[in-house]
A and B are shown apart, each in its own frame.
Chain A
Amino acid sequence: MIPLVQIDNLTVSFPIGRRVFGPPPMLKAVKGVSLSIPKGSFVGLVGESGSGKTTLGRAILKASPISEGKITFDDGTRRYDIGTMSKAQERDFRTQAQLIFQDPYAALSPRMTVRDIIAEPLELLGITNTREDTDARVREIAGKCRINLEHLRRYPHAFSGGQRQRISIARTLAAGPKLVVADECVAALDVSIQADILNLLKQLQRDLDLTYLFISHDLSVVAHVCDYVAVMYLGEIVEEGPTRQIFANPQHDYTKSLLAAIPSLDPDQRSRVVQFERGTVTVEG
């Protein structure tokens, strides 16, 4: 079976500062990563801050530079080579792959109504042509994301964190993408709301036939929603496999130390952290 997204040997580097002579030193945020995301899967990408998980997610959406390697998106009818897309292809690709942001307080413009927020991608990407079409599409997607249709005329400040994240998800899904990159999309939410948003993502996956790349630092959340997990550390994927296998039988020391560090809800149960020598991200040049 052809994966929806295939990443081969991807490296993303960023220059650090400038030099008068010669190229500046480069920081390799992602180093030689290969990963395939099958169609209809819920793939988790876990790691601590600085592990390169966000950079990898952004590279798939052509939002970070691809230094080496190749990313291809293929849904059977369309095929894009992310690194070498033309402007027209890129515009087309935007309707196929979208991002859900972490902080629903920062992601929504306070000056736009909920209806306009959800309608913006439809208008920008030229998906709907008339106002009636746009409104119909907005109402359809808002209903799917369990947003009260009465609320479409209000501004974001009137909503709680959970409601805002639902609006943010509706905006992401408005253009009808096949692939959704969710970058820490529940990290800023309270636990009682977090469960609601995770259930909604699962429901939408069934309804709209979505494929997710779910980026998170929280292993217990990943364990619950993802069917495949990749663990990143210092720009490399150190371990990957089906969720159950990774959680039942972690192989890499880093995965073990991550799992052991999760505070247990039982006050009398306390696993020792596996000793793990931390490294640093390499800078070359």
Chain B
Amino acid sequence: MSLLTVQDLTIRFKTDEGLITAVEDVSFDIEPGEVLGLVGESGSGKSVTAKALMQLNGWNTVYDPASKIILHGDPDVDVLSLRRERDMLPIRGGQISMIFQEPMASFAPALTVGKQMVEQLQIHTKMSKAQAKELSIEMLDRVGITEPARRFDQYVFEYSGGMRQRAMIAMALTTKPRLLIADEPTTALDVTIQRQVIDLMKELITDFGMSILFITHDLGVIAQTADRVAVMYLGRILEKGPVRDVLRTPAHAYTRGLLNALPDLDNLDAPLTPIPGDIPSPLERPAGCVFHTRNAELAPGSRYETEVPPMSEVRPGHFAALFPEDV
């Protein structure tokens, strides 16, 4: 059985210019022990989707009544139906943890790293201070921080960039969450450090058996970490499926466009092919398939300009937003 089911998630924001649709009809499952990659460019709605899983979006967020985010367990919980902060608490930081792009901004600068790790354990578990400290140091050691006992009493500014991200991961894992949301966790890091953090996360999946929702704009990072991938554009999932299948034989024109735009190190003579046009403003969402305005493969007057294509199964487990005749 799945760990989490997201069904017809539609998220709008109230702004001065009216309601803006950030996410539209997004559905996906996360299986236990699986890494699901969520790729998309800026403004595609990937972070908003992830934050919805913990109700972390701002006060001006409007969830469509049909949207469901079900955390399976005993009993199943619909996260969006929880109204009180008190009810959110066991989920936020307990069952689901999140790590962010900028680790410097995620730690309080005036408290030691250790104090912050202990604090969250006391909120989410019944551990004593001494137990919490012991577990925190053990976890810092586990993520590869040398001299964890000394580092425990230091402040974030004394950590290097890679070490901060490791400490974030350690902190997110001490409460033994069932799902870890990683929002661009390697984007601010240098490539060599990025590689170390990716390796660490893969090890932790094997050790802890949790699921990860891995959000990034970097298809290379997805290829190296995810089991399955979902490609988002302007708030919609345009393609999803097993990572090998999607990257090797992409079915949707947008996924192909993204792959072609990437510089290829094995073929330096290949021209770089940008996706034509610019991302439309969220205030002027195109009708029909959201990508049709930039899709050079479509003939003028095609169905995609007016009708929203369904998610059609291209190969077993591999879906794309295409009409059945194009599959």
Contact = CB atoms under 8 A, between A and B. Distances in A.
A191 B255 CA distance: 12
A276 B263 CA distance: 26
B12 to A, nearest CB: 21
A257 to B, nearest CB: 6
Given A48-B190, A267-B224, A268-B244, A247 B265 contact: yes
Contacts of A261: 191-192, 194-195
Q: Is the interface of A mostly helix, strand, loop or mixed?
A: helix
A67 interface: no
A49 interface: yes
Contact of A264 (B191, B223, B273, B279): B223
Interface size class of A (residues with CB under 8 A): 35 or more
Interface string A205-234: 000000000000101110110000000000
B148 interface: no
Given A191-B41, A273-B196, A163 B191 contact: no
A192 B195 contact: no
A220 B218 CA distance: 13
Contact of A192 (B191, B261, B264): B261
A199 B220 contact: no
B244 A267 contact: yes
Interface string A168-194: 000000000000000000000011111
Given A217-B190, A220-B262, A270-B224, A192 B41 contact: yes
Interface in A254-276: 257-268, 270, 273, 276
B244 A162 contact: no
A196 interface: yes
Most-contacted residue by chain A among B224, B258, B259 (CB, 10 A): B224
Contacts of B244: 267-268
B243 A265 contact: no
Contacts of B247: 265-267
B256 to A, nearest CB: 11
B19 interface: no
Contacts of A224: 263, 268, 272
A193 B41 CA distance: 10
B191 A199 contact: no
A39 B293 CA distance: 41
A198 interface: yes
A159 to B, nearest CB: 8
A243 interface: yes
Contact of B274 (A161, A195, A219, A247): A195
A160 interface: yes
Interface in B238-262: 243-244, 247, 257-259, 261-262
16 contacts: A48-B190, A160-B278, A161-B42, A190-B279, A195-B274, A217-B191, A219-B265, A220-B263, A223-B265, A224-B272, A243-B268, A260-B195, A261-B194, A264-B224, A266-B223, A266-B247
Interface of B: 41-42, 161, 190-192, 194-196, 198, 217-221, 223-224, 243-244, 247, 257-259, 261-265, 268, 271-275, 278-279
* CB-based closest 3 A-B pairs: A263-B220, A196-B274, A192-B275
